[in-house]
Amino acid sequence: MKSLSNQVVSMKPSGIRRFFDLAQTMDNVVSLGVGEPDFITPWNVREASYAALEEGYTAYSANAGLIELREEIATYMKERFLVEYDPTSELIVTTGASQALDIAFRALLNPGDEVIVVEPAFVSYGPLIELAGGTVVPVACRPEKGFRLDREDVEQAITERTKAILLCFPSNPTGATMNGDELAQIAELATKYDLWVVSDEIYAELCYDEPFVSFATLHDMRDRTIVVNGFSKAFAMTGWRLGFTCAPEIVTREMLKVHQYGMMCAPTLVQFGGLEALRTRDQHVPSMVKSYRQRRNYFIQALNEAGLPTHVPGGAFYAFPSIRHTGLTSEEFAERLLVEERVAVVPGNAFGESGEGFVRASYATSLEQLQEAILRIQRFMKQFEVTVLKDSHS
C-alpha cells in the first residue's frame, strides 16, 4: 500500500490525551488532567437548542454562521472588549476555537512562513501551523517573570520569514496573563516588523485579578489581528464545538473560503445555543468565574505548601507548578503521581520543551476533589524531602 502523509504520520499524538487515556484505565483517580469546566452548560442554553430543533431548524446556516449570532457576537465584542466588528464581513462562526485557529493559519501562511509561538503553548498550535505549511518558532515565557512574554525574547526570534505571532493570554497551560502595557510592547513589534497577530482569547472571561485586554484594542492592532474565541471555557460548552473569529475583512474573506469548503458551517442547533449563551451571559459567567477564583486561591496556596512552587495564575483554570527539585522529568513525575497516588496531571513538556520541569494541573474540578488531590500530593511529595514553600515564587 502507498504510504500516508509524511507530515501527519510524523505528528506526535497529544501528550494530554496519553495521560487521560492512561488514567481512564485506573480506579479512584482524581483527574486534574483535562482542561474543561466541570459545570454543565446552563439550562436555558440547552433549552434554546431544543427549541430550535423542535421548530425545525435542521438545515445549514449561512457559511459564516447565523446572522443573529454574528450580530450578537459583534455586540459582545463591543460591550465586553471595546472593539467593533462588522457582523456581515468580519466574523465567522466556527466549530470551536480549534477550527478557528485552523482556518486562521491556512489563510495566513505560505510554505516556510514562520510563526512565533509563545511557549509553553496549547498542544494544537504547532501541528495546526505545520499542517498549514508554516514553521513554528517557539519563544519561551520565563517562569521567573510569571510566564509573561518578554519583548526582547520575541524580537530576537523575528526573521525575514516571520509572518505572525501567536499569543494566548490567559495562557493554557500556565494561566499567565498580560496587562495592556505589557501587550502594547508586543504590539509595537507587530507594527515595526509588519506582522499578523493571532490572539487566542478563549480564556478572556476567566481573569481573576486584572481586567482582560483584547489584543485588537491596542494601537494599530485591530487590522492586523485575528481574534480567536469560543464558547467552550467561559460558557461551559466544550462538547458543543462552537467558536468564532473576528478579523478584518481582507483576511476574513480568505478564512471563509477554507471554512466553506472544509466545514460548510457550524451546526445550526448549536449556534442557537450560542446565541442564548451570549444573550444571558451576565446570569452565568460571573458566578462561574467567582467559583474558579475561589478554587484557584485555595489550590495555588495548597500546592506551594505541599512543596510544589507555583506562580499565581491570573486567569484560565490551570496551575503550573515546578517539579524540578524532585529530580524527576515532567513525564516521570506525572506518571509516578498517577501510578502511586492516582492523581492525573499533564507533564509540562506536552506544551513544548520550555514546559519541561513543570506539570499542568487543572483546577476546574470540585473543591472536594482538589482537597483530595492535595492530600495525595502531600503524601507523594514526602519522599522528596523538599523545603516547604509558604509563598509562590512569582
Q: Nearer to ligand PLP by C-beta: 172 or 326? A: 172
- Output the DSSP codes for 224-257: GEEEEEESTTTTT-GGG--EEEE--HHHHHHHHH
How many angstroms separate the Cα of 75 from the Cα of each of 61, 69, 85? Answer: 20, 10, 9
**Closest distance between ligand PLP and the C-beta of residue 383, in Å?**
32
Report in angstroms the alpha-carbon separations of 155 from 160, 189, 213, 383. 12, 7, 22, 42
State the minimum distance, in angstroms, from the CB of residue 318 to ligand PLP: 9
Nearer to ligand PLP, 85 or 169 (CB): 169
**Number of Cβ within a 10 Å radius of residue 123:** 20
Residues facing residue 93 across a β-bridge: 244
Question: Toward ligand PLP, which CB reaches closer, 162 or 229?
Answer: 229
> Rule CB under 6 A: which residues touch ligand PLP?
35, 96-98, 122, 168, 172, 200, 202, 230, 232, 238, 243
Residue 168's contacts (CB-CB under 8 Å, 6 or more residues apart) are 118, 121, 122, 199, 200, 202, 203
Q: Show Cβ contacts of residue 6 under 8 Å, excluding neighbours closer than 6 positions.
A: none
CB of 214 to ligand PLP, least distance (A): 15
Q: Which is nearer to ligand PLP, 162 or 174 (CB)?
A: 174
Complex with ligand PLP: residue 232 or 268, whichever CB lies closer? 232
The helix/strand/coil state of 159 is: coil
CB of 154 to ligand PLP, least distance (A): 18
CB of 305 to ligand PLP, least distance (A): 27
- What residue is closest to ligand PLP based on CB? 96
| Least gap, CB of 321 to ligand PLP (angstroms) | 18
DSSP 196: E
Which of 309/314 has CB closer to ligand PLP? Answer: 314
